[in-house]
Amino acid sequence: LFCDLMNVIYAFLSVQTVTCEESEANLQSDYGRHDKTTCSAGRPASQLQVVQCSSQTSTSVVAESCNGKNSCTISSSNSVFGDPCVGTYKYLEVVYTCQFPSATCEGSEANLQCGQVLVIHGANYGRRDKTTCSAGRPASQLQVVQCSSQTSTSVVAKSCNGKNSCTISASNSVFGDPCVGTYKYLEVDYTCQLEMDRSDITYRYRYYVSVSDITYLILRIGI
């Protein structure tokens, strides 16, 4: 599973699973039809004519089932999303990213690894709650919860963006000390993306699942 940007298309009445190994899924979706070719095998032309069909509840329904989870199962059916275009053969399209939250306690090293390349979306060295990295620490070191190094994201991005793996120390020597006397930790929010030879090329994986459970993988390269 490539955890960059994914389009997963499920045929009407099929049940499929969205999976992000050791990460959380964040997504958008649409149940309906937007072209005459997707999930069209064996369907009469009359069921493929309407191409401006969309269930308004698509994203909210899928998000409620899947956001923040490692995996989820969704039924592509009118009973779940309603019927936005009666008589039209529909499909569910889900676009999702896998988010990899990571927290490393002060004095330790964060080891970020990816099957493809790392893309850093955000980082924070400091403290935002009293529970993370609190084991064995005195209460006095956990009281300040509005603590953040302003250079966190830029420092981690400079060290890790575009690499397959990187190691960065969660320490004051790397990020400065945004709250003296508070025991801090480093949080990193990142995704894995397919390695690119040119920065202006994006890669999208699209999975089509038909009612006969034949899966087609189409690699689309857009510039």
CA distance 28 to 92: 11
Amino acid 50: pLDDT: 95
Amino acid 216: pLDDT: 28
Topology at the third CATH level for domain 101-193:
Jelly Rolls (2.60.120)
Looking at domain 6-98+198-222, its CATH class is mainly beta
Q: What is the dihedral of CA 83, 85, 86, 91, to 10 degrees?
A: -70
Amino acid 103: pLDDT: 83
Amino acid 47: pLDDT: 95
Amino acid 97: pLDDT: 66
Token pair in block for residue 90 = 């529909």
Residue 83's Cβ-count burial label (10 Å; 0-12, 13-18, 19+) is: middle
- Any idea what DSSP says for residue 61? H
In angstroms, what CA-CA distances link 108 with 81, 122, 160, 164? 47, 19, 17, 20
Amino acid 64: pLDDT: 86
| H helix or E strand, kind and range, residue 50 | none
Sequence-ordered list of residues with C-beta below 8 angstroms from that of 81, at least 6 positions apart, any chain: 31, 55, 57, 58, 61, 92
Amino acid 17: pLDDT: 55
Residue 178's Cβ-count burial label (10 Å; 0-12, 13-18, 19+) is: buried
Residue with tokens 């397919």: 194
Based on its alpha-carbon atoms, the radius of gyration of the chain, rounded to whole angstroms, reads 22
Q: Give the residue range(s) of CATH 2.60.120.740 domains in the chain.
A: 6-98+198-222, 101-193
Amino acid 211: pLDDT: 28
CA distance 65 to 176: 40
Q: Is 105 left (phi over 0), alpha (psi -120 to 50) or beta?
A: beta
Mean pLDDT of each 10-residue bin along the chain, 223 residues long: 32 50 64 92 94 93 80 86 94 75 86 83 94 94 96 96 92 97 93 54 31 28 29
Geometric angle at alpha carbon 139, from 137 and 140, rounded to 5°: 105
Q: Are 97 and 27 in contact (CB under 8 A)?
A: yes
| H helix or E strand, kind and range, residue 41 | none
